[in-house]
Amino acid sequence: MCGAAVRIPIATGWIACGIWGIPHRQEENDLMRSGNLRAVGLIFACSILICCASVLVRSSARSGQEKTAATKKSGPSNDGTADAYRLNTLGAAYMNQQRPADAQKYFDQALEAAPKFAVARMNLGISLLAQQKLEPARAALEAATQQIPNDAYAWYNLGLVYKDLGETEKGIAAFLHVTEISPKEADAYYFAGYLYSQSQEYDQAIAAFQKGLALNAFHASSEFGLARALQRKGDAAAAREHLARFRKSPRSISERRLARATATKAVIRSRSCH
């Protein structure tokens, strides 16, 4: 049997500390003064608030940047498999409606029916993250990464949990692991760069942002993050250049996906029950 796996936009940025993170006001002012670009700061602040929802719906039918996660073909042989699939699908539907608490109940029930159902465990972690229940989300997603260690989405969402918990080093490691599994994930490079910047490792941050931009030249958040890291490192001229690019760059397909914080499309994808 199969189930639905989701990467759902999460409103953590509105409720608590945010996924993308907003620069300190003084840092924004410093950056805006360097190049007379106060308007850019407003644009970026809006972009950050919109982009705080970075856990996205994934489907088996997706093309281009959307890639299905690796799964085992064998599933549990008990009679709970069909129920687990049905319950997990219902949970995904509730996540699509921005109702993570309701979704959590169905993912819990799916795991009761099929305790080895790794996709339901990953989805449970996502629903907990959506509610900012960070420690239970950590437990669920760490367990999911053990069951499906090559699933980039499990590691991606675990990285978001570490980020919100303030565990910078673990967050960086999780996002870099995503790039090893799925080398074309520009968003993972962005988050790695963001966390490197938070820990004042600006050379590593610049390298991560540049890798993300090499994959997606119109990744606006990476462009701004790169400008900010360059400015903090003391390269004002390069910072101004990338701020100018940020102002001119259209929002990428990835950015538009991340912006769907309140209007998510749930797509069910078939997955083996682990």
Supply the mean pLDDT for the chain. 73
Exposure class string for 164-199: b at 16+ Cβ within 10 A, else e: beebbebbbbbbbbbbebbeebbbbbbbbbbbbbee
Would you call 50 helix, strand, or coil by DSSP?
A: helix
End-to-end CA distance of the chain: 10
Contact 13, 52 (CB under 8 A): yes
Class of domain 184-266: mainly alpha
pLDDT at residue 163 tops 90: yes
pTM: 0.67
- In terms of Cβ atoms closer than 10 Å to its own Cβ (0-12, 13-18, 19+), residue 148 is buried
**Identical fold between 78-167 and 184-266:** yes
Which residues, in sequence order, are CB contacts of 56 under 8 Å at separation 6+?
Answer: 7, 8, 9, 257, 258
Q: What is the pLDDT of residues 202-228, one digit of tens each?
A: 999 999 999 999 999 989 999 999 999
Query: What are the structure tokens assigned to 19, written together?
Result: 């996924």
Q: What is the pLDDT of residues 178-200, one digit of tens each?
A: 999 999 999 999 999 999 999 99
**Confidence grade of residue 239 (pLDDT, cut at 50, 70, 90):** confident
**Confidence grade of residue 274 (pLDDT, cut at 50, 70, 90):** low
Domain residue spans of the chain: 78-167, 184-266
Class of domain 78-167: mainly alpha
Q: What is the pLDDT of residues 122-132, one digit of tens each?
A: 999 999 999 99
